[in-house]
């Protein structure tokens, strides 16, 4: 880089996919192509949003999670389903993150969209994921995003406000980078 030259911004493939999809669909004459770049489909939450209104939750293992459980601690919340292959790979990365970060500094919550908790329990026994999972999270999902993509990874700051809603499967490096949420703010 030459003196006075601005550094190039780092980019990730997933950051470019919505624009690429809009371009391809637009070129094909698809009438809804403009929606891909509309502000409501942004992966970053609008600033000034109210804090997440956490309900009482019960994990599939029976753990009670009152709203106060989430106060003052950043969180990663992933919406997924047992039948989703992308979710299986994504959640393996999420489990690695869970095992590498102190839960007092970063909470990890999996929200299975399956209606039957027994199906989710069997799935968790097969996979061995250690992070907390709740089932039938349709109502909880509405508190985070209207999008129906899975997996959907949402980050919540220590202030309780939604920071990001990241659609789709993330790479291992991108998931592990979410550990930065556990760092104290400067």
Task: Give dist(CA 51, CA 161) in Å, integer.
Answer: 4
Query: What's the pLDDT at 39?
Result: 33
Residues 93 and 173 in one domain: yes
The answer to the question of residue 5 being in a domain is: no
**Helix axis angle, 117-127 relative to 85-100, nearest 10°?**
60
Number of domains within the chain: 2
Q: Do 34 and 76 share a structural domain?
A: no
Measuring CA to CA, which residue among 178, 163, 169, 174 is closest to residue 79? 169
pLDDT value at position 78?
A: 98
pTM of the shown model: 0.74
What confidence category does residue 186 fall into, taking pLDDT thresholds of 50, 70 and 90?
A: low
From the number of C-beta atoms within 10 Å of its C-beta (0-12, 13-18, 19+), residue 73 rates as: middle
Query: For residue 44, how many C-alpha atoms fall within 13 Å in the half-sphere facing its CB?
Result: 4
Q: What are phi and psi of 13, to 5 degrees?
A: -55, -40
pLDDT-derived band at 6 (thresholds 50, 70, 90) equals very low
The percentage of residues in the chain with a pLDDT greater than 70, rounded to a whole number, is 73
Return mean pLDDT, the chain: 80
The residue assigned the tokens 């026994």 is: 125
Give which of 82, 64, 131, 67 is closest to 103, Cα–Cα: 131
Q: What pLDDT digit, counting tens, does each position of 35-60 carry?
A: 333 333 334 444 347 899 999 999 99
**Gap between the Cα atoms of 132 and 120, Å rounded:** 12
Structure tokens at 181: 């949420």
H or E element in which residue 154 lies:
strand 152-156
What is the pLDDT at residue 183? Answer: 82
CATH value at residue 55: 3.40.30.10
pLDDT in tens, 67-78: 999 999 999 999
User: What's the rounded Cα separation, in Å, for the pair 34 and 148?
Assistant: 18
90 & 150 share domain: yes
Highest mean pLDDT: which range of 14-18, 36-40, 49-53, 166-170:
166-170
State the sign of the Cα–Cα–Cα–Cα dihedral 184, 77, 163, 161: negative
**Domain extent for 26:** 12-41
Q: Are residues 33 and 120 in the same domain?
A: no
Residue 8 predicted with pLDDT over 50: no
Q: Which regions of 122-161 does DSSP assign to beta strands (E)?
A: 132-135, 152-156
Comparing 115 with 19, which gets the higher pLDDT?
115
Q: Say if residue 94 is in the same domain as residue 84.
A: yes
């Amino acid at each position: 880089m030459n003196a006075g030259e601005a550094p190039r911004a780092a980019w990730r493939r997933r950051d470019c996919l919505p624009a690429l999809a809009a371009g391809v669909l637009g070129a094909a004459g698809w009438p809804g192509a403009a929606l891909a770049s509309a502000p409501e489909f942004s992966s970053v939450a609008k600033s000034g949003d109210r804090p997440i209104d956490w309900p009482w939750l019960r994990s599939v293992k029976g753990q009670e999670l009152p709203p106060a459980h989430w106060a003052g601690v950043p969180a990663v919340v992933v919406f997924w389903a047992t039948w989703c292959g992308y979710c299986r790979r994504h959640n393996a990365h999420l489990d690695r993150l869970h095992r590498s970060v102190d839960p007092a500094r970063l909470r990890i919550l999996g929200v299975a969209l399956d209606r039957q908790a027994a199906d989710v329990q069997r799935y968790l026994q097969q996979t061995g994921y250690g992070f907390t999972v709740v089932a039938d999270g349709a109502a909880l999902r509405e508190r985070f995003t209207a999008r129906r993509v899975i997996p959907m990874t949402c980050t919540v700051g220590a202030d309780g406000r939604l920071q990001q809603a990241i659609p789709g499967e993330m790479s291992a490096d991108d998931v592990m980078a979410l550990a930065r949420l556990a760092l104290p703010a400067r």
